[in-house]
């Protein structure tokens, strides 16, 4: 059998597996009022072959934004025209392009162009490749207040559509997604479907994402890890001194955000660990008094799903985050919501981080409804429902966090809390020596 025929047979087998697979038992649960059916990949209208599609934006360094889009026409140019008035573009930015093959699938031409410098808190109108629709984006503010929308494990279901609609009602500046985007799971047309699904939202506000296990896409002897994710969702890793798109950092309006990779090497000898120490050493808490960290697999989790999955990463990296006085840690992976009190090393600690698990964006596997009882002392609130979070950082000392469950297609606020920054509680000052010692230790 020729290699091409072998690949075709493999694709057919994978298609059958994908179509007949059932979720893990920990995620099986009857869901009321809304089906958990994946949106058919061909239900979203296909763009003209030469027109830009799957447009999304992300932050790309100080006062710059990266615009990403895909065309089926391999000869389409990679540039973005933009300006502050509709239909009038007084600036243009040349970009780069890439593509990839996965078994018998060949992607379209994937374009990335960085525009800027841009004014803060300003609407811009832009067009990709000189043709197609005009898009409008809004840049984040330069100072507080700033609002982040948060939801992980998004997927492509009816619940996903509700979550996106609810997020759209929130007047947010940046969307944070801690892993598991499309749930394509090697079926590459689902990446295209996801890009079209989120375009109305991701083309207007920057989406800052990190990888989850469903981005890994390893099958049998094919080991092109994260090729789809890295090709389609380029983040500002180079701008932040990282050597991998799987982990990076960025700053916006007084907040330093670190996106770590649960599926990149993270032990004390790894490149990610070295980069994290270097990145933390550069954080200026006078300029960015708030310090947030996101990754996919939670370190603190009282759900029975994925128990202990983040222990190794926590053992290696939690001391760094504690020494640096990280305010808030956000993860996904577990398909439920949970918020902790401030803690470190498994114990309540007023100088520790608040940990939030929010892997409930709308995935096709269902919810993780089994919890460990009694509820640990560190666990403040937990619930297995789909939903999203909103983090409004009001000033250098106070932020308001709220979680909104999906219920009858309406966002219902189920949990909220005011969070005081560790800068204002003097934890940062108290741990200055500890931070310096930790970061300078080989």
Q: How far is 10 from 13, CA to CA, in rounded Å?
A: 5
Phi-psi region at 266: left, alpha or beta (left = phi > 0; alpha = psi -120 to 50): alpha
CA–CA separation, 134 and 290 (whole Å):
35
**What are the helix (H) ranges across 361-430?**
427-430
200 in Cβ contact with 116 (< 8 Å): no
CB 144 within 8 A of CB 173: no
Catalytic residue among 111, 296, 306, 355: 306
- Angle formed at CA 353 by CA 348 and CA 356, multiple of 5 degrees: 100
> Which value, in Å, is the radius of gyration of the alpha carbons in the chain?
21
CA distance 233 to 296: 16
Measured distance CA(139)–CA(277) in Å, rounded = 29
Count the Cβ atoms, other than its own, within 10 Å of residue 441: 8
Element (H, E) at 70: strand 65-71
DSSP code of 121? Answer: T
Q: Which residue has the tokens 């619940």?
A: 159
Calculate ∠ Cα 292-175-247, nearest 5°. 55
Which of 248, 314, 263, 267 lies closest to 60, judged by CA?
Answer: 248
Q: Is 306 a catalytic residue?
A: yes
Q: Are strands 328-331 and 353-358 parallel, antiparallel or unpaired?
A: parallel
- The owner of tokens 């869901």 is 31
**Alpha-carbon distances of 218 from 22, 225, 368, rounded to whole Å:** 19, 6, 24
Beta bridge partners of 331: 357
Instruction: Give the Å distances, CA to CA, from 246 to 220, 258, 416.
Output: 22, 11, 30
Q: How many CA atoms lie within 13 A of 223 on its CB side?
A: 1
- Report yes or no: 253 and 140 within 8 Å, Cβ to Cβ: yes
Whether the CB-CB separation of 226 and 191 falls below 8 Å is answered with: no
Residues annotated as catalytic are 306
């Amino acid at each position: 059998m020729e290699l091409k025929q072998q690949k075709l047979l493999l694709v057919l087998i994978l298609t059958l597996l994908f179509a007949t697979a059932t979720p893990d038992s920990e995620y099986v649960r009857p869901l009321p009022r809304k089906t958990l059916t994946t949106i058919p990949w061909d239900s979203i209208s296909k763009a003209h072959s030469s027109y830009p599609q799957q447009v999304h934006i992300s932050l790309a360094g100080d006062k710059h934004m990266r615009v990403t889009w895909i065309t089926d026409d391999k000869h389409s140019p990679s540039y973005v025209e933009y300006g502050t008035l509709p239909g009038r573009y007084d600036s243009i930015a040349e970009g780069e392009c890439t593509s990839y093959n996965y078994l018998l699938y060949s992607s379209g031409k994937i374009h990335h162009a960085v525009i800027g410098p841009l004014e803060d808190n300003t609407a811009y109108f832009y067009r990709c490749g000189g043709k197609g629709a005009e898009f409008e984006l809004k840049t984040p503010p330069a100072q507080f207040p700033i609002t982040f929308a948060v939801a992980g494990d998004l997927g492509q279901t009816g619940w996903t559509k509700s979550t996106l609609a609810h997020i759209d009602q929130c007047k947010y500046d940046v969307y944070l997604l801690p892993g598991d985007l499309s749930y394509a799971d090697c079926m590459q047309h689902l990446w295209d479907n996801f890009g079209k699904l989120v375009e109305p939202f991701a083309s207007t506000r920057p989406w800052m994402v990190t990888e989850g296990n469903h981005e890994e896409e390893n099958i049998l002897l094919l080991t092109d890890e994260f090729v789809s994710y890295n090709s389609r969702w380029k983040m500002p890793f180079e701008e932040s001194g990282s050597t991998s798109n799987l982990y990076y950092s960025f700053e916006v309006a007084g907040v330093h955000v670190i996106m770590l990779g649960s599926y990149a090497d993270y032990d004390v000898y790894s490149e990610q660990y070295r980069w994290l120490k270097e990145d933390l050493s550069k954080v200026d808490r006078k300029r960015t008094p708030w310090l947030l960290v996101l990754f996919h697999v939670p370190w603190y989790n009282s759900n029975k799903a994925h128990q202990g999955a983040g222990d190794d990463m926590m053992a290696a990296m939690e001391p760094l985050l504690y020494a640096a006085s990280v305010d808030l840690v956000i993860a996904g992976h577990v398909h439920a919501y949970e918020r902790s009190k401030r803690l470190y090393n498994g114990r309540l600690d007023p100088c520790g981080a608040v940990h939030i698990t929010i892997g409930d964006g709308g995935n096709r596997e269902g919810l993780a409804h089994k919890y460990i009882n009694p509820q640990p002392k560190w666990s403040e609130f937990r619930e297995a429902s789909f939903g999203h979070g909103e983090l409004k950082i009001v000033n250098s000392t106070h932020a308001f966090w709220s979680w909104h469950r999906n219920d009858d297609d309406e966002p219902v606020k189920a949990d909220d809390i005011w969070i005081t920054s560790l800068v204002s509680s003097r934890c940062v000052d108290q741990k200055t020596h500890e931070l310096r010692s930790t970061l300078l230790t080989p």
